[in-house]
Amino acid sequence: MSSNPFLSKFNTPFNTIPFDKITVDHYLPAFEEGIKQGLSEIDSIVTNKETPTFANTIEALEKVGPLLEIVGSTFSNLNLAETSKEMQALAKVISPKLSDYSNDIILNDALFKRVEAVYAIKNTLTLTPEQSTLLDKTYKSFVRNGSKLNAEQKEKLRTIDKEKSQCSLTYSENVLAESNAFELVITNASDLAGLPEGTIEAAKITAKEKGKENAWVFTLDYPSYGPFMTYSENRNLKEQMFKAYGSKAFKNNEHDNQNILKQIAILRHERAVLLGYKSHADFVLEERMAESPTKVFSFLENLLDNSLSFAKDELEELKAYIKVNNGPEDLKKWDIPYYAEKLKKEKFAIDDELLRPYFKLENVIEGVFETAKRLYGFTFIQRNDIPLYHKDVTTYEVKNAQGEFLAVFYADFFPRAGKRQGAWMTSFVNQKIENGENVRPHVSIVCNFTKPTESKPSLLSFDEVTTLFHEFGHALHGMCANGQYGSLTGTSVYWDFVELPSQILENWCYEKECLDLFAKHYQTGEVIPSDFIQKIVDSSNFQSGLATIRQIGLATLDMAWHSQNPKHITSVKDFEISVTAKTDLMPSVPETCTSCSFSHIFPGGYSSGYYSYKWAEVIDADAFEAFKEKGIFNQEVATAFYKNVLSAGGSEHPSILYKRFRGREADPKALLRRSGLIKETV
């Protein structure tokens, strides 16, 4: 085997990861060496004869494991964005090793005694707010992960953590396998009726890639699935697609997730109870702005009260439209996107296909870069000398307003077999101060957008435009990080605050002043007409009641799985139906089950946290009102947001940071105003 790139200095621009030199064989030895070094560094802290201090214990602990950190971020990020059978098999070997390593630290009695000793004298120490946060977080992480348990309980915790990590891996693999296994092959051109030209062309390319001549192939990747459900006139094929999408890992086959997800929920509950909490939700929410399941349920209930009647009216309006247009009398869930799009077009004279020509991917990227420049002075310079993990990835050097190096930015936009569905932001390197040097972050956004075809560039739907702005908002949070400690910088904030920087940036997509910067027809260069922008704004709250209760339903499902003992749940499907009864206004489809492919909450980090999208929407709606009051590119507001939110990371409690930005707490009615669910003015 060639020398291991992880075990020597990276000879790359900005010390970026040498993806071109890393093979699957390099990971395991690098993980093992990283674990060995980490435990040695822990031993040095524990055996230190000096009295425990903030510097020799808390700060020293923060600096443990730099090798493991870089190997771990590389492997975990690629296992989502560019995985393979070999990577997945390796993940099952590595996962228990990392679980053991984590527990070897957190359950080390001598180490905890030192942490506890520093925490006990906290009030006598002179600490910055960030240092104080680090001390609190470090102490709590030990207590919340079992440091006060007896030996028998600690062993049980280790077993639970190992099983839980293995179950999470299996769940993810099953969803990916099911997504990749399905394809709708069309050989009769008449079955393409209603579909946009670009969607048909993309399906032709997919067919060619899969070795199918004279055919069109549609997949469960959203750029394929979404337009098919929205525009296809073939009701039977839409039913087939809908059921395939909704039944991922719910087929009682080798990739079925019903038992796996129950096991994850049970293990999470057992772990929480072992640590002295009533439920997993109680455990999680202790470290969130929402604080408790009671508050989350109250928040969701309040939202439901304000949106349910709107949602019911919207559904009735749609049903009436379908009836007038001789649509099906036995309306099903797979009919909704098609008729909703038709109704939207009739009401607002707008649809995605009218807008797509104005949203060429390259122009949207330039637009989001220009938005960052006008707000914060950032510039993005494409680099061709930074190693890539896939040819579709593009890299940029980011500079701040003073022309100084700020971050490395990776952008990975198109679907492929080794990539998980959806869109997300992640980091390969977190910002921190190390030996007096400000180590700048390497951040990435990963999406699954409409691919270019032989005749057209990548033309985004408006939803994809807002997704790009959303993920770029997360990326800005990572890029702007400017703290002392890596565990508190960038997106390392309370989970129900992390969506603020991403969701607020979506607001710029609805503003003429921003759209005029980049929304230009890909063939003529014509700037998007003003009446189109007005139609985007007018239609932005189309079926906002239905959209809101859908999110409430998903958040309620998440809380239902995690706020009680799930051992009594026998049928995953029946349980799901019972807890979403209030928010599901259409009959449930027997073949489908959301829980089985709800990757956000089962393997993902959103367990007991899916409500945070709506929670953060309240904050982002309120925050954007500050920009609207003074101008969407107003420097005073942008500087305050940069200083108190984007660069502050998790250095202080989010409510403190937000009040510092806004001068007050967020107004809960801001979201209802923006969604058109109340007519009150600010």
- The CA distance from 497 to 482, in Å, is 17
471 catalytic per annotation:
yes
Q: What is the DSSP string of 455-499?
A: SS--B--HHHHHHHHHHHHHHHHHHT---S-GGGSTT-S-TTTTT
Q: What are the tokens at 183?
A: 């394809």
Q: Rounded to an integer, what distance in angstroms lies between the CA atom of residue 328 and that of residue 342?
A: 14
Q: Nearest-5° angle of CA 544, CA 468, CA 205?
A: 105
Whether the Cβ atoms of residue 612 and residue 498 lie closer than 8 Å to each other: yes
H or E segment and range at residue 10: none
Determine the Cα–Cα distance for residues 637 and 572; give it in Å rounded to an integer.
47
Alpha-helical (H) ranges within 529-611 are: 530-539, 544-562, 572-579
HSE at residue 449, side-chain half, CA atoms within 13 A, is 32
DSSP H or E stretch at residue 153? helix 151-181
549-559 exposure pattern, b = at least 16 Cβ within 10 A, e = fewer: bbbbbbbbbbb
Q: Establish how many alpha carbons lie within 13 A of residue 172's alpha carbon, considering only the half-sphere containing its beta carbon.
A: 28
CA dist 75 and 19 (Å) reads 11
Distance CA 19, CA 393 (A): 12
Q: What are the structure tokens assigned to 208, written together? A: 């060619």
Task: State phi, psi for 504 to the nearest 5 degrees.
Answer: -65, -35
Strand order in the sheet with 424-429: 379-383, 394-399, 405-412, 442-446, 424-429
Q: Which two tokens stand for residue 231?
A: 């525009």
633-660 exposure pattern, b = at least 16 Cβ within 10 A, e = fewer: bbeebbebbbebbbbbbbbbbbeebbee
CA dihedral over 298, 299, 300, 306, signed as positive or negative? positive
**Contact criterion met (CB below 8 Å) for 232 and 170:** no
Residue by residue, DSSP assigns 598-639 as -TTTTTSTTTTTTTHHHHHHHHHHHHHHHHHHH-TT-HHHHH
CB contact set of 284 (below 8 Å; sequence gap of 6+): 562, 607, 608, 609
Q: Which residues contact 334 (CB under 8 A, 6 or more apart)?
A: 229, 235, 238, 239, 241, 242, 243
Q: Are 598 and 546 in contact (CB under 8 A)?
A: no
Q: Which of 82, 464, 471, 499 is catalytic?
A: 471
How far from 269 is each of 158, 411, 604, 607, CA to CA, in Å?
Answer: 14, 37, 16, 11
The whole-angstrom separation of Cα 410 and Cα 274 is: 41
Give, in order, the Cα–Cα distances in Å from 45 to each of 40, 63, 141, 192.
9, 11, 17, 66
Using alpha carbons, list the distances in angstroms from residue 406 to 183, 389, 396, 580.
Answer: 43, 22, 11, 45
Catalytic residues: 471
